[in-house]
Structure 1
């Protein structure tokens, strides 16, 4: 069963035509149409059994030629069986191709949309909801919109064909029993509406349990550290209890719907049997209908009713897939505010950076993160951002990378407004070492090579040497081929790999966001010396709380409440005896 993912990022998602929108993203539409055609043929081909039935009737009616008629019936049965088998094999082959291709196509579209999404989107959406969409949600949509679609087409074609045959051989008798399929259709429609109403309550509960599981598994070290395993288990059980209650109600409702439907089918079968026997045995009706016509009417009405039952029984699944499809379509169809394909390509940037009266606040926040921020960094300079937490230092780095657009003012690199550059060109000019080390589930060499995919092994090793990571990497069992997910690295080791990755990236601008915060004193000194050599000729911005790392900066900007309160060198700021001097007093004594 799917989880319906409700979160702030997708509020207001366009409703309606979810099936058509999802199918639009399936590339192999010709294959899908062919599969549906063969599903319809397979449904209608059930009427071939009437050919056998006619032969059998002739056999019983013409007992004088029993042997020849028996052989004829057997031959006809063999041919009909062969045709039905071939149709079913072709139908199954098409369906076997469509399902995995559909799954892959939608996941590709979804992942591509995520790769082009704004950072603001990821600020709002929950990790649990996103994991569910990529895996469980898409799989459920495939099960319903593809696999069950074949079932529905098969059932509807069988139903329609049966109705036509019954009308041809006895329209008056067919209309006599048309009430049964109609009552069955109404019962299934209303019952499924009832089940859908209850299912809506499951959506929120399912989302909460998914998010809970993802958050606990992601931060399991913290859970273990505080001995919260049992509490988390009990908390998760309590969360699942509401889901269990809703699922039990839905199951009971569906069971009740099926029970009523079976009663309707049984009543129809008994009534048909009584009516046909009366037609065949009542002297008043003798000669009105032969056995073959009666068989056609019976078969047609049964196919009509069973087809309606099969088709409408899955409408509840289609309704439950609507929310998952709506959320997935919302992601695929969303238009990022920062278009990754707009802007001009800019090469050979030197690294001059200028903020002109920049103001910015995050979506949903009333307070400005930056207010009338202005500064200039010349190409090749090393500049430090210092200040208390939440004063706007990291926000400034994010705006420089154009993760968000400013509300007021301009950000320029080499006197070019970054909004005129393509995001790809801009970010190719910037490398960053984040505050928290970020490594992917791949080898250490590939993690370093992430800074420049074309780098060879020697260049990767040289970057690791500069980043003070080479020695500990060589002590690992598989050296640079060691998978990050299979080894236990310290925070400092992870950070040195991240620094090596930034070193490998040939960019004119280097951002170090608390880059050495996770290192011990000895490693920090070694990396600082390596970075001093590496930063030569680059524009470097250091964000730091530990002022010992910024004393050699060409310029220090002291942030306070989203603007720059002081500017100068380490020496001049100490002499000014202001905000920076107060910060330094507790760290550099």
Structure 2
């Protein structure tokens, strides 16, 4: 928590203004009971109406100044806390953007969303409270004690007797509640995860009639969060009644013993009234402190979760500065082996091959053979365990990630579109692409035909997740996004699977001319997509089972023969 609070130094002037005005408000509040005592003793008791009006006017002015100070303090405390939250969200987001897929796998997307939203909000709220109360509560407590003692020192012993009971009650409640706050945040993570899976997987859920099972799963996560939240609130529910009980018993004690002292002539009525007000202020200062005890533990848990993210060092670090293209457009895997974190077996083992500009290199293999893992290593979504990958003749780990990825046109296995227009989605590959470049890329990707049929053509809006276009249309727009970039290396990760054979053939024909000066790497499930490739790499269980043309592999490679025979008829093979 303290690590995060240090960042408030950016808003030091706003914090200073808050502290000054809270101090002024507290002094005004402490002065009011003394004025009231003066009015009672010297105005009401003596019947001096003029004195009552004069002192009443002063009380009104003091109250007005206190109210003005409270408004100013509230404004600047909110400004500092909200600015702090905005900056922290930006910092967390920017830091998370540097994460490799390994960090995302470790923390979880749902948890990262919770930490960036709910956890930061918890910290924001406690900062507002702290800025107001960290000065106000001590001043009201100490000032109230001093003023009460000045009115009657012996009567102050009633307050001294009540303090240990109050402090012990707060400590016990705090001690019981702290572990539960950690459970609340973890179970909130779980609820977010289940809810996110339900929303993103709604098509699969409905297709398999799993709505009831998912309702049970969500209900279970929701009830677990509810149960621990109820436990926390049950513990916290004791706080206010205990506070009020102690406070009211203290007031009763003050009135009882104060009445005796007035009867003995040792105290005036006005002083007793002021003393009661000071007791109330002292107790409310402790109430404010107890509220802080409620909020700080939960905010502390949230702050620790935020710090975990900020202190997490990305496994992929730009430790190289090479920028020269030794061999423009080349791709080389040199004895590459890769283990996923915690895996006992390698996903890729001793993979070696090279690809040159003007060539089409294809990768094929069964499910789990390591095809997608291979392409994920090229743009450094993960780093190799051993061996070297070179793009343009330079080790990918010796080049800044931004520069490396600028050389690659990557089309992922799952086509992802963003909310916005078609043109904006294609320009995601090149922000300054002209309208002609966008149209040309769409034409090569065979997307022009369906775009032209839309009412707004390239300004047609893509809804969230691309829900208003088909799977094949998503793939073609994803391909256009890579084409508009005109990179040195194209990587297509099973990017033609949703296309019909006619569109697939037309797209490959158009790509051949468009990418003649670049290196093309295609990962495919369909043999028909890669039969014309200059080089086909056959993967089996993460290892290279064969490299060659279609004819060479079909004649000599048993793994490739099995794949071909499972997909093509004898006439097509012939």
TM-score range, shorter chain: over 0.9
Q: Give the 5 Å matches for 1:295-314.
A: 295-314=273-292
- Partner Cα distance (1:572, 1:460) in 2: 39
Query: What's the counterpart of residue 85 of structure 1?
Result: 67
1:119-173, Cα deviation, whole Å (9 max, x unpaired): 2111233332222222222222212233455245433332222123234444444
- Is the 1:99–1:147 Cα contact (8 Å) retained in structure 2? no
State the secondary structure of the residue aligned to 1:328.
helix
233-242 or 440-449, which moves further after superposition? 233-242
Residue 551 (structure 2) aligns with: 571
In 1: Cα distance, 2:312 partner to 2:43 partner: 67
Q: Any conservation in 1 of the 2:37–2:274 contact (CA below 8 Å)?
A: no
| Segment drifting more, 54-63 vs 39-48 | 54-63
Aligned to 1:127: 109
Deviation at 1:22, TM superposition (A): 4.8
TM-score, L = length of structure 2: 0.92
In the alignment, the residues of structure 1 paired with residue 202 and residue 473 of structure 2 have an alpha-carbon distance, to the nearest angstrom, of 21
The answer for the alignment partner of 2:172 in structure 1 is 190
Is this contact kept in 2: 1:383–1:555, CA < 8 A? yes
Q: Tell me how far apart the structure 2 counterparts of residues 25 and 330 of structure 1 sit (CA, whole Å).
A: 19
8 Å contact kept, 1:451–1:502? yes
Distance of 1:89 and 1:198 partners within structure 2: 35
Deviations along 1:526-579, one digit per CA (max 9) or x if unpaired, are: 211221122111011111121111122121111222222211112222232532
Q: 1:337 to 1:529 in 2, by over 3 A?
A: same
1:379 has 2:362 as partner? no
Cα 1:578–1:247, aligned 2, differ >3 Å: closer, same or farther?
Answer: closer
Q: What do residues 268-294 of structure 1 show as CA deviations (whole Å, max 9, x unaligned)?
A: 010011111111112xxx3x4445554
Moved more, 139-148 or 392-401: 139-148
Shift in Å at residue 263 of structure 1? 1.3
What is the aligned partner in structure 2 of residue 12 from structure 1?
none
Cα shift at 1:266: 1.2
Task: Note the alpha carbon deviations across 1:157-214, whole angstroms, 9 max, x for none.
Answer: 3222212323444444424521212321211121232233444444443332221111
Paired with 2:8 and 2:340, the residues of 1 have a C-alpha distance of 33
Residues 1:358 and 1:443: Cα distance change in structure 2 (over 3 Å): same
SS of the counterpart of 1:507? Answer: coil
Distance 1:580 1:290, change over 3 A: same
2:229 — aligned with what? 247
Higher mean C-alpha deviation, range 72-81 or range 170-179: 170-179
- 337, 356, 374: which is aligned to 2:334? 356
Contact 2:335–2:351 at 8 Å: present in 1 too?
Answer: yes
Separation of aligned partners in 2, 1:41 and 1:247? 38
* Corresponding residue SS for 1:214: helix
- C-alpha contact (below 8 Å) 1:159/1:303 kept by paired residues: yes
So what's the TM-score if we normalise by structure 1? 0.90
CA contact (8 A) 2:554 2:561 kept: yes
Q: Which residue of 2 aligns with 1:221?
A: 203
- For residues 294 and 348 of structure 1, the distance between their equivalents in structure 2, rounded to whole angstroms, comes to 90
Change (3 A) 1:349 1:430: farther
Measured in 2, the distance between the counterparts of 1:119 and 1:201 equals 27
Match of 2:402 among 416, 420, 424: 424
Say which of 24, 36, 54 aligns to 1:41: 24
Alignment of 1:335 onto 2:318? no
1:70 matched residue in structure 2: 52
User: Are the equivalent residues in 2 in contact too, given 1:128–1:215 (CA < 8 A)?
Assistant: no
Q: Answer yes or no: is the 8 Å Cα contact 2:411–2:491 preserved in 1.
A: yes
Residues 1:63 and 1:20: Cα distance change in structure 2 (over 3 Å): same
SS in structure 1 at match of 2:349: strand
Tell me the residue number matched to 2:15: 32
What residue in structure 2 maps to residue 103 of structure 1? 85
Does residue 514 (structure 1) correspond to residue 494 (structure 2)? The answer is yes
Deviation at 1:402? 1.4
Structure 1 residue 355: Cα displacement = 1.9
Distance (Å, rounded) in 2 between the aligned partners of 1:216 and 1:289: 70
Q: 1:162 and 1:431 mapped to 2: Cα distance? A: 70
Aligned equivalent of 2:42, options 42, 59, 63: 59
Q: What are structure 2's unaligned runs of at least 5 residues?
A: 570-574
SS in 2 for 1:477: coil
**Greater CA deviation, 108-117 or 162-171?**
162-171
- The correspondence of residues 391-402 of structure 1 with structure 2, limited to 5 A, is 391-402=369-380
1:495 aligns with 2:504: no
Residue 293 (structure 2) pairs with residue 315 (structure 1): yes
Question: What's 1:452 paired with?
Answer: 430
The aligned residue for residue 326 of structure 1 is 304
8 Å CA contact 1:188, 1:312 repeated in 2: yes
Give the equivalent residue in structure 2 for 1:4: none
Q: How far has the Cα of 1:518 moved from its partner? A: 0.9
Paired residue for 1:154? 136
Give SS of 1:389's match. coil
Tell me which of 470, 478, 484 is aligned to 1:504.
484
Unaligned runs of 5+ in 1: 1-17
- The Cα RMSD (Å) is 2.4
What is the CA–CA distance in structure 1 between the aligned matches of 2:542 and 2:320, rounded to whole Å? 29
| Cα separation, 2, equivalents of 1:86 and 1:22 | 27
CA apart distance, 1:377: 1.9
- Assess if the C-alpha contact under 8 Å between 1:25 and 1:106 holds in 2: no
The match for 2:572 is: none
User: What's the CA shift for 1:43?
Assistant: 3.1
SS of equivalent residue, structure 2 residue 156: helix
TM-aligned CA distance change 1:148 to 1:443, over 3 Å: farther
Distance 1:584 1:408 in 2: 32
Q: Determine whether 1:584 maps to 2:564.
A: yes
1:13 equivalent in structure 2:
none
Cα drift, residue 340 of structure 1: 4.4
Deviation at 1:436, TM superposition (A): 1.2
How far apart, CA to CA, are the structure 2 residues paired with 1:34 and 1:335?
Answer: 37
- Say if 1:181 and 1:308, in contact at 8 Å, map to a contact too: no
After superposition, where does 1:553-568 map in structure 2 within 5 Å? 553-568=533-548
